[in-house]
C-alpha cells in the first residue's frame, strides 16, 4: 500500500501480508484500530530512519502497536532492520525488544572483509560544488579498487541522487580517458 494505491476494508481483512510505506500505514491505522488489532508482526525496514524527517511517523507506528498490545493484551512483535544502526540497543529498548532477542551482526559475520573510509568535505558554498568534490573523491577510490581487480558498490544518501551521481561519475570518466578500460 502506498499513497498511489488503496485496498478496501474487505481486501485488507482477507490479506495475510501487507507491504506499505510507513506514511500510508499511519493514515490507515489512525482512522481505525481494527486493522492494528489484526497485526501480529510489524517489520520496519530501515529503522535507522527514526533519526530522519520520517522518524516521527515510525515513532507513531511503534507507539500505536505498543498501545494495541497493552489494550488488547495481544502480542504484536516488532522487528526493526537496519544495516547502519550504531545505537541498536537504544532502538531495541524503544521497540521493547528483549536483550536476548536483539541481534547485532558485526563485521566478523561477513564472509569478505569490508573496508570503510570516511572523508570530510568542507563547505564549498553550494551543495552542488560539495557533491562534485565528493564524486571526485569517490571516483579516485573507485579507480584504485578497480585497478586491484576488486568490485565497487557506491551508495548514495537519497534515491534521486542515484542517477545524478552515476552521471557525474560517467562525466569524470569521460574526462579521464586513461581509466576507460577499467570500466569495460
pLDDT in tens, 46-104: 998 888 888 999 999 999 999 888 888 888 899 999 988 888 999 999 999 998 999 98
What does the pLDDT read at residue 37? 82
pLDDT in tens, 91-106: 999 999 998 999 988 8
Q: Where are the domains of the chain?
A: 9-109, 127-183
Look up cell 502506498; give the residue: 2
Q: How confident is the model at residue 41 (pLDDT cuts 50, 70, 90)?
A: very high
Q: Is the pLDDT of residue 170 over 90?
A: no
Q: How much is the mean pLDDT over the chain? A: 84
What does the pLDDT read at residue 93? 93
Q: How confident is the model at residue 17 (pLDDT cuts 50, 70, 90)?
A: confident
Q: Is the pLDDT of residue 163 over 80?
A: yes
What does the pLDDT read at residue 182? 62
What does the pLDDT read at residue 79? 93
Write down the CATH superfamily of domain 9-109: P-loop containing nucleotide triphosphate hydrolases (3.40.50.300)
Distant-in-sequence, close-in-space partners of 60: CB < 8 Å, separation ≥ 6: 26, 30
For the segment 133-155, the average pLDDT, to the nearest whole number, is 86
Q: Report phi then psi at 39, rounded to 5.
A: -80, 130
Between the alpha carbon of residue 51 and those of residues 25, 91, 129, 184, the distances in Å are: 19, 10, 26, 39
Distant-in-sequence, close-in-space partners of 13: CB < 8 Å, separation ≥ 6: 38
Q: How confident is the model at residue 10 (pLDDT cuts 50, 70, 90)?
A: confident
Amino acid at each position: 500500500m502506498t499513497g498511489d494505491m488503496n485496498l478496501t476494508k474487505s481486501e485488507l481483512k482477507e490479506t495475510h501480508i501487507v507491504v506499505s510505506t510507513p506514511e500510508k500505514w499511519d493514515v490507515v491505522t489512525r482512522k481505525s484500530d481494527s486493522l492494528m488489532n489484526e497485526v501480529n508482526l510489524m517489520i520496519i525496514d530501515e529503522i535507522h530512519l527514526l533519526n530522519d524527517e520520517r522518524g516521527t511517523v515510525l515513532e507513531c507506528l511503534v507507539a500505536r502497536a505498543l498501545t494495541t498490545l497493552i489494550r488488547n493484551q495481544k502480542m504484536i512483535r516488532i522487528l526493526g532492520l537496519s544495516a547502519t544502526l550504531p545505537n541498536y540497543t537504544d532502538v531495541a529498548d524503544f521497540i521493547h525488544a528483549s536483550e536476548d532477542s536483539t541481534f547485532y551482526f558485526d563485521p566478523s559475520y561477513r564472509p569478505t572483509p569490508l573496508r570503510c573510509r570516511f572523508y570530510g568535505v568542507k563547505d564549498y558554498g553550494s551543495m552542488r560544488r560539495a557533491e562534485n568534490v565528493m564524486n571526485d573523491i569517490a571516483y579516485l577510490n573507485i579507480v584504485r579498487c578497480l585497478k586491484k581487480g576488486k568490485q565497487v558498490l557506491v551508495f548514495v544518501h537519497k534515491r534521486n541522487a542515484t542517477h545524478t551521481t552515476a552521471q557525474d561519475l560517467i562525466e569524470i570518466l569521460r574526462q579521464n580517458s586513461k581509466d576507460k578500460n577499467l570500466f569495460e
